[in-house]
Structures are given as structure tokens and as C-alpha cells.
Copies of this chain bind each other. A is one copy, B any other.
């Protein structure tokens, strides 16, 4: 059976000293606490011999720090977020933190729930990919003085730390690229959402058209609801292709939209890029494997995650510091799905 865990007391007893001394030595405070060299060495040896592992619970209870980070992501089945999770976990570990991941599934109730559970578990701070209608939750965290960093999505009206892609610029680049590749009637399918990053993607797309002297047509921009993604993506594609003339290029504002759209293209036997050029946000194996590889916006996942952890750890360690707000550039990876159009 499990040989009972060794505690400070066990070591203290075996060494014939008090637990205080053992604690000092094992925390490297020998100097400040004026511990004798001999006994220090002895303590260390005994600790090793007994395979001493400190009890995190006790430590945390005493110190108020758990060395645990709560990561709340919007949707773990999205590979972008799954990869974010992996990066955050790795980086946190390097900094001596453990991560507890929760997926809010784009649902504010679930998100609040998770937040509460994790606050209750005394996490030292949060990294959050916010979901719809969660601005209030962010305000709450702020009010409670709990350290957190927003990742990928942020609220322009709330002063917070955040690390995000420049969604506006990314969408602008996408639109611009399609125009320079000869496309003239460029649509976008986005989510119906108040979230700022979505607004920015839409704005970037519109500005790209404008700056290229292509008058934006309202019917080119479609917004679908997250919960009805499958049916609504189909319906909007039908609409976009039924226009006279139909669009000749389409930007998907997220990975999920692209998946549903591409599936429907296959059903319709629409050919990419001849019938319709494509650029998409998100990144995944799918984009490589599609019969016509998809041009996409590559977000700097590794850097995003690492920076967020770095920021958070700093915030946890010394409370001062003004808010850090970091925008990173997405890289447009050009593939066959947006190849230069053969003049009509």
C-alpha cells in the first residue's frame, strides 16, 4: 500500500530539530535564517532519503497562492483554441504553474459557472477567451481584483490587459489580397455577435473594399447565429450564389464557418476557386487537405499563448503595473483557393 507521505514533521523528528528549521532549509532560506551548515546538510539529506514532496495544499492555504492558472476558452473543439490550450499549458509549466482548462462553449452562463468554480479553487489568475455577453463577468473580475489577461478577444470599453491578434488588419489583408488577385465581388460570412473581434473583422473587410474603390454591397455581408450555424451557413451561401451576379470570392470569419461552408460547397459541387475564391480565418489540417488548399490567416498561436502567460504571471507576482495591451499580426498564408483570377 501507499507508504504514507512524508511531511516536514517526519524530517524534523528524524533530524532531531524543529519543523521550522526544516522549512527554512528546504526553502533555501538558510542564510537569512541563520541555519547551521551541518544541520542544513543533514536535513537536506534526510529529505531526499524520505522522498519528501511538500504538500501544495498546505503551502497554498498558508500563502494564499496556489500556483494555478484558470484558462477559460470559448470552444475547445475548435482546433485553434485547442492549440492555444496546449501552448498555455506548456508555458505555464515552465513558469511553475498548473493550468485548469474550462470550455465555455460560447455560453455566458457556462462561462460564469467556470469562473466561479475556479475562483473557489483559488486559482491565482485567469487567461480568458471571452464569450458573448461576458463583459459583465470581466468587470466583476476587475472589481474583485483578481488578476487576468484576455486572450484573442477583448472589450474596447473595458480597460484590461489583453493579448490579441489584430483582427481588423487581418481581415483587411484578406480583402485586399482578394482584390489584388482580381476578385471584384467579395462576400463575407461572419457570426452575429457583439464581440469586438468579430466587429473588427467585419470592419477590416469593409475597409479593404472601400480602399480599393469597390463599393461594398450590404447583401455581401452575412451574419449567422452560432447555435444555428449549419442551417444558416447553407442559407446564406444559397443567397450569395443566387445574386445576379453572384459573388466571386468569400471570406469566412471563423474556422467553424469555413468548415460548414466548405462542406456545403462539396454538396453543391461548387468549385474552389473557379466558382468561388476563399480566404478563411482559423487554421487546421482541413485547410491543407481540401482538394484546393485554402488561403488562411495564420494567427501567432505560440506567441499569443506565451505572452498571455508571461503577462499574467507578472501580474500575479507584483500587483502594480499598468495594463498591457498587445496586438499581434496575423500572417496571410496564400494558397490555391485565392489564386489570381483569370480575367472574365
Contact = CB atoms under 8 A, between A and B. Distances in A.
B98 A98 contact: no
A120 B259 contact: no
How would you classify the secondary structure of chain A's contact residues: helix, strand, loop or mixed? helix
Interface string A115-149: 00111111000000000000000000001111000
A38 interface: no
Contact of A289 (B56, B82, B263): B263
A288 B103 CA distance: 24
Chain A interface size range:
35 or more
Interface string A56-91: 111011000010000000001101001101100100
Interface string A252-266: 000000010011001
A103 B99 CA distance: 12
B290 A289 contact: yes
Interface string A1-32: 11100000000000000000000000000000
Given A57-B122, A85-B101, A89-B102, 10 more contacts: A2-B146, A53-B119, A57-B57, A57-B60, A77-B82, A89-B103, A93-B117, A99-B101, A262-B289, A289-B289
B2 A56 contact: no
Contacts of A54: 120
B76 A98 contact: no
A70 to B, nearest CB: 10
A248 B259 CA distance: 30
Contact of A85 (B76, B93, B118, B121): B76
A291 B288 contact: no
A35 interface: no
A285 interface: yes
A76 B58 CA distance: 31
Contacts of A66: 57
A195 interface: no
A2 B142 CA distance: 9
A103 B86 contact: yes
A95 interface: no
